[in-house]
A and B are shown apart, each in its own frame.
Chain A
Amino acid sequence: MNWTALHAKVMPSLLAGTSRRGLPSELIRPSSPSSDGALEMLSLMGQALRFERPATPDSFVVEPEIKDERRIIAEGLRRPLVRVLTAKNATEHPARALARAFERLRLRPHPFDLPLIDAFVRSNAERLGPTAQHWAERQKAEAETQSYFDPELLDEGNWAQAAISRRVAYLELRRRDDTDAARALVESTWAQEDADARFRLLQAMQTRLSMADQPFLSALEKDRAPRVRTLAARFLARLGTGVENPAVRACMERIKQSQSGLLRKRTILQLELPANVKDQAAARWILQAFTDVSFGELAGACRLTEKELIDASAKDVSLLLALAFIVTSERRLDLFEAVVAHLPNAWERMFESGLDTLGMMTESERQRWEEIIVQPYRKDLPTIYSLWDWLHRITDAEALPSVMSIALKTKLLMKVPERERGTFPWLEVIAALCPAPQRHELREQLAEFEQSQTVIPLVLLDILEGMENERTHV
């Protein structure tokens, strides 16, 4: 009896049951007179199946070739990295600090660790290089995936193939050097971009926005994505060529203008909040009301210069807050500094508003923005965890040494009530914010805490230093 005969004649009987389909009598060889031979056939069939080799599929997936020029982090950093990112009570602060370091140092996680740190990779794929991007998008349909290309230097030839964050950064640089060339670059690929990429590229166009951009912006009034249309309309309004911005009109209806002074008349502006907006909701309302208003439009509507507008608002904290939002959105840090000079608790007020992005600011701009917002507190930094948590999330950058030195010199961590230190990851957020030159000082302060609280912060500092100084990345 060969395998074919066994499979063809015995298998159907065993599957259906011998009560329905009897075993072929000519094949049965009972091992004893008392046996009907069925169990012998079961064993024989079972053993024959065990010798059957597993079927080889007709074809295999051809894995994409990913050109990843980044170096893989040193072997010794792999385990601590996985531990920090998968710790039971892991917060997002160490993950943010690590993602920034990967991007800045052009390193990448070891491919074998990607499954272990999957959530981190999904959240920070763009910062971790093409291999990580491919991993994060592995379940997307092929048509939706990007090309995984991450060259050391971008130029106009390879710009379109890079990750969107790098493309936006490159576009901004080009806008500063040559606005026309930058616009031409965007126009060349515009039709192939998805809605998110179109919006982010358009945001980058606000750098050195000029009348030469008007035809391109006008064409976007029919864009499929509403947020792209809205942003284009805002830019056109800023150029003075679009229709009047209805948001400006709505805001002006709530701004009361008056004069004061005996010798020299000065304009005083006051924002009247709706009667149903309570104190705690005021910041949130202001953020929403002034989102679509530009500083130039507002100054123009008030017939004031930029500086006069700030001076005129100096006595109204609500209006100052509104101006803080507007200049933040427009990356006018000179004006932001002037506004914060009149609004020393801008940090708390902006936190209350629910502001969750600094828009297109570069990392250095975000750091400077943070410095401006923290400086007024000087030696009296707030010991409210949510403020620091928000500050790190919104800036997504290391603090400038000037900011961290305030925190370290004033021994901020010592001032935090012990009970709160146990509840919130204070040490983690400060470690994630700490710039390299001050890590040593921070370690000295961490040594004064209970060891169980400093495990993650210290490992994070070790990894960051290892990434910066290790020579054995491959």
Chain B
Amino acid sequence: MSLTLERIEALAPDQSSLAAARKLLKASSWPTLAEGDGLVWGECHGSGATPYRVAVSEADAGYKCTCPSRKFPCKHALALMWMRAGRSVAFAPATVPDWVKDWLSRRRGASTAAAGNADDEDQPKTRPSMRLTEIPEAGADADPKAEQRAAAARERNRLEREAAMLAGLDDLDTWLSDQVLHGMANFVAQTAQVCRTITQRLVDAKASGLAGRLDALPTRLFTLPGPARPSAAIRELGQVHLISEAYRRASELPELLAADARQAVGWSVTREALLGDPEAMRVDGKWRVFAVISEAQPDRLRRVETWLWRQSGADGAPQCAVLIDFVPISGGAVGGYLVGDQIEAALSFYRSTIPLRAQIAELKTGAEQSKEPFVLPNGTLGASYAMYEHALAQLPWLATFPLSFRSARVRRHEEQLYLHDDESELSLPLQTSLASHALPLAGVGRIDGVGLWNGYEFTLAWAETKLGRWLRP
């Protein structure tokens, strides 16, 4: 049981949502309240004729509501969690209804029991919405000829996409050559304009990975100080060319690096494909959420990265993992994980030279705020940075990389804060937007912790200090 009042409070998007949820705590507002298989669900009277349907997974505080609210979680989901946590209202034991199973089959990291039941029922995995009527099983009366036609169509589409991508990469080369011809100083001056053109072209070529990278480039450059932008442009455009070349010559590359190149250009692996891949690396252990980073993307989606640090389990396996979700831009955290949560789970890692991105294959215990100390490796910041350099050598377009450290200090030079390692004399500039929040760390001496390095600035996420724990807000 992981639903507690503290957790609900932390999940609430604002104080007024909690106040609104409090008004719905009366059983009379809920014609249906039921529980089963680690889930609670109910129907809540709203302003319309049809009650809103709300479901919550107790294991990880995942939620779904049919109301049109743009707050996530909405007051209905909060109220349902609240009633459950407070045990103030009776929930009738019941069989999980279809609309809840439907939601469950589409979300990641569902609880073992619930997911198991969903599988038993052999429900379709990818339904677009919470439906009230049953959809006919796709595979029940499958026609072999139709399947063959579909497979052929898929292969044709794949080949067409490959061809479109290669044509797009040729255009990209031309564009990159133009930028080199005119110089990076010129590029920086009109980044937004020139990137927009090639981004559109790459979207047309279905190279969504590269398109996204170039679409985000102007923003990334503008977050840096003016003098650092031209050299940053060289780094970024250099990586784009590397990816493009690696994709073209994938057959000459090691298998994992080729997979990285395909993914960086725009081929994606679905969750189902990953979980169904017997060769995918699977790591069991206790995982601690040390950072949840949410960024709005230009495509009106919010990218939510949940970073996990392994607290137990096999040596040699990845120490860190990131779950990436995309939610509507108006939404909040998608999975309900909070910094400090601990889960026991088996994670499946996407195939990569440096495996970081993963999916929850099996959730053994739900998320709980843990008071246990954060288990960190013994290495200094210098040692962690050396690991980053090693990883960069293996995967040249490596993006964000987690760094743990012990006995580092936060120090200040003018207005900029640095994480400084006395032993190696390494100083990583801290993320500028964290300056105010991290400033109290400048007076506390040596700290242990973990954060994320993107090659430009360090996002300090978690620190253990003599004054207690510091967490990125």
Contacts and interface: CB of A to CB of B under 8 A. Distances in A.
B473 interface: yes
Contacts of A16: 183, 185
Nearest to B239: A46
A112 B440 contact: yes
B230 A38 contact: no
B467 interface: yes
A20 B413 contact: no
A18 B443 contact: no
Interface stretch (B141-149, B279-287, B300-308, B423-431): B423-431
A17 B186 contact: yes
Contacts of B183: 14-20
Contacts of B14: 88
A390 to B, nearest CB: 26
B351 interface: no
Nearest to B409: A60
Contacts of B467: 72, 110-112
B420 interface: yes
A83 B416 CA distance: 29
Given A38-B180, A57-B418, A63 B442 contact: yes
Given A45-B234, A50-B235, A111-B443, A14 B428 contact: no
Interface stretch (B19-27, B119-127, B258-266): B19-27
B181 A60 contact: no
Interface in A28-51: 31, 36, 38-47, 49-51
Contacts of A41: 180
B173 interface: yes
A56 interface: yes
B157 to A, nearest CB: 29
Interface in A409-468: 450-452, 455
B404 to A, nearest CB: 18
B427 A54 contact: yes
B238 A18 contact: no
Contacts of B22: 451-452, 455
Interface in A130-159: 135, 138
Given A51-B392, A455-B19, A15 B184 contact: yes
B277 to A, nearest CB: 31
A451 B20 CA distance: 10
Interface in B152-183: 173, 176-177, 180-183
Interface string B215-244: 000000000000000110011111101100
Interface string B449-473: 0000001000000000001101001
A455 B238 contact: no
A20 B20 CA distance: 64
A403 B248 CA distance: 83
B440 A114 contact: yes
B389 interface: yes
Nearest to B181: A19
Interface residues of B, number: 59
A451 B392 CA distance: 55
A44 B23 contact: no
Contacts of B437: 115-116
A277 interface: no
A60 B180 CA distance: 38
A53 B426 contact: yes
Interface in B1-40: 6, 14-16, 18-20, 22-23
Contacts of A40: 241
B253 interface: no
B106 interface: no
B412 A61 contact: yes
Given A39-B241, A45-B234, A72-B467, A59 B443 contact: no
A14 B183 CA distance: 5
B468 A46 contact: no
Contacts of B241: 39-40, 42-43, 46
Contacts of A45: 234, 238
Nearest to B237: A42
Contacts of A60: 411-413, 418, 420
A420 to B, nearest CB: 19
B444 interface: yes
Contacts of B473: 115-116
Contacts of B97: none
Nearest to B441: A112
B439 interface: yes
Given A83-B15, A110-B468, A115 B185 contact: no
Contacts of B441: 112
Q: Nearest 7 CB-CB pairs, A to B?
A: A46-B238, A17-B183, A57-B413, A452-B19, A60-B411, A56-B427, A43-B238
Given A88-B14, A450-B23, 9 more contacts: A14-B180, A14-B183, A17-B184, A39-B177, A46-B234, A50-B396, A51-B389, A110-B468, A112-B470
Interface of B: 6, 14-16, 18-20, 22-23, 173, 176-177, 180-186, 230-231, 234-239, 241-242, 245, 385, 389, 392, 396, 411-414, 416, 418, 420, 425-429, 436-437, 439-444, 455, 467-468, 470, 473
23 contacts: A11-B234, A17-B183, A17-B184, A43-B241, A46-B237, A46-B238, A46-B241, A47-B238, A49-B238, A54-B428, A56-B418, A57-B413, A57-B416, A57-B418, A63-B442, A87-B15, A88-B14, A115-B437, A115-B439, A116-B473, A451-B22, A452-B23, A455-B15
